[in-house]
Amino acid sequence: MSLPTTTRMVEVRTQVLKANDNDARLLRQRFHNNGVFVVSLVSSPGTGKTLFLERTLTMLRERYRCAALVGDLATENDARRLERAGVPIRQIITGSVCHLEAKMVSDALVGWNLDELDFLFIENVGNLVCPATYDLGEEMRLVLFSVTEGEDKPRKYPTIFNTADVAIITKIELATVTEFDREAAYASVQAVRPGMRILELSAKTGLGMNQWLEFLELRSAERSERLVVV
Amino acid sequence: MHELSLAMSILDIAGEESDRRGGAEIKSIYLKLGPLSGVIKQALISAFDLAREMSPFSKVELVVEEVPLRVRCHVCDTERELPCFQDLCCPECGTPCGDVVCGRELEIVAMEIES
């Protein structure tokens, strides 16, 4: 004879992403302690993340110590391209995983002395869906979309735009030939992330790159002040 | 397709809860899901059906409650429920509202256990 069983409800209150959130919290703490400003990049495939990052690293390395992690489903092509910028680069091959997780970032950082860095960039896998859900411990998340992708991209992928801090419109040198509707693009960003800062640039011609770097330096300086006050 | 890894996380958390209760059987898992969580309910349920087959809880049910998107309108000084997450504006006064009060949930709230 088996014992009678009873069914009951128990409150659990657990974040499904608690393991990732915990890893991300530890990373953020570590980045703060080491004084490294961490920027992550998300976009669709083909927006020009890698060229943008290559240009950013090449310009920034004159005055700051930089490094980058690059996530990709397969191949180390992006890392090889980025090595031309002359800063430490590591590739994270995710295999079939469509996004980076905080654990992959901490694993990829093994052996790097973060004290020796001012800026660390993390290029996520080209995907506007899955990366939205995973905190990587970054200080600033950039979402990039190009003038060739359509002005309504933010409204099509509201979650990723909503979790990002800054929108960057790339390939602005093609704005005229593609009849890019700037007003519509800005409205689309503001609809899903009111008040979001938008920057326009061309990594190819360099247009807007100085403004982006000034903005980045300002944000980094503000963060340092905030940490000192705390 | 990150739903499969989320489904596996949900089953891991169920496993921890079962262990904590001396190996109690988990009958169902209740999940709150917000429209800004980045997760599609149907995709998660399909992934869960697949993931549970490979777990010790092959019969466990996943019950998903979709919660609405609510923002705070600072002009009206009120919380507003929004019908659509592609337009974060106050439905009354039209002010853009970036202050999301709820809608990002991806949270296990309860489990039904047998003991």
Q: Which H or E run includes B113? A: strand B106-114
> For residue A106, which phi and psi values (nearest 5 degrees)?
-65, -35
Q: Do B112 and A18 touch (CB under 8 A)?
A: no
Q: Are B50 and B7 in contact (CB under 8 A)?
A: yes
> Would you mind telling me the total number of residues written for chain A in this entry?
230
pLDDT digits (tens, 9 = 90+) for B46-94: 999 999 999 999 999 999 999 999 999 999 999 999 998 999 999 999 9
Q: Does B6 touch chain A if contact means CB atoms closer than 8 Å?
A: yes
Structure tokens at B1: 């397709």
Q: Does B19 touch chain A if contact means CB atoms closer than 8 Å?
A: no
The residue behind tokens 């970036």 is: B98
Q: Does B102 touch chain A if contact means CB atoms closer than 8 Å?
A: no
Q: Which residue of B has its CA nearest to A196?
A: B98
Mutation site, A3, A12, A18, A104, interface B, largest B CB count within 10 A: A12
Tens digit of pLDDT at every position of chain A (230 positions): 566 778 999 999 999 999 999 999 999 999 999 999 999 999 999 999 999 999 999 999 999 999 999 998 777 788 888 888 889 999 998 887 889 999 999 999 999 999 999 999 999 998 999 899 999 999 999 999 999 999 999 999 999 999 999 999 999 999 999 999 999 999 999 999 999 999 999 999 999 999 999 999 999 999 888 877 65
Q: Does A3 touch chain B if contact means CB atoms closer than 8 Å?
A: no
The CA distance from B29 to the nearest CA of chain A, in Å, is: 9
Q: Which residue of B has its CA nearest to A127?
A: B1
Q: Do B106 and A10 touch (CB under 8 A)?
A: no
Residues A99 and A135: their CA atoms lie apart, in Å, by 11
CA A147 from centre of chain: 19
Mutation site, B28, B108, B112, B114, interface A, largest A CB count within 10 A: B108
Q: Are A58 and A86 in contact (CB under 8 A)?
A: yes
